Amino acid sequence: MNVWNEFTAPLYFLNSVDKWPVTLAVYNFFGQFSAQWNLVSTNIVLTSIPVLIVFIIGQKHIVSGLTSGAVKG
């Protein structure tokens, strides 16, 4: 999860914008005086789709793992 949310490392260490992760691509759509909100919202939706798919597929395992640690006995 930490790698998915990383902002500063790819910003400083990757030389090309083409190599940036999708989560950092939002940074390209903000200018000094304007922002392209349609592209920002599209990027956010496309970035969140893989996380939602993984959660939906593994929901049974995630919930069972959370509840197994909470029950004593």
| SS3 per-residue string spanning 26-73 | HHHHECCCCECHHHHHHHHHHHHHHHHHHHHHCHHHHHHHHHHHHCCC
> From the centroid of its chain, how far is CA 28?
16
Give the SS3 label for residue 13. helix
Tens of pLDDT along the chain (73 residues)? 666 677 788 888 888 888 888 778 888 888 788 888 898 899 889 888 988 999 999 999 888 887 877 666 5
Task: Say what the pLDDT of residue 56 is.
Answer: 93
* The model's pTM: 0.62
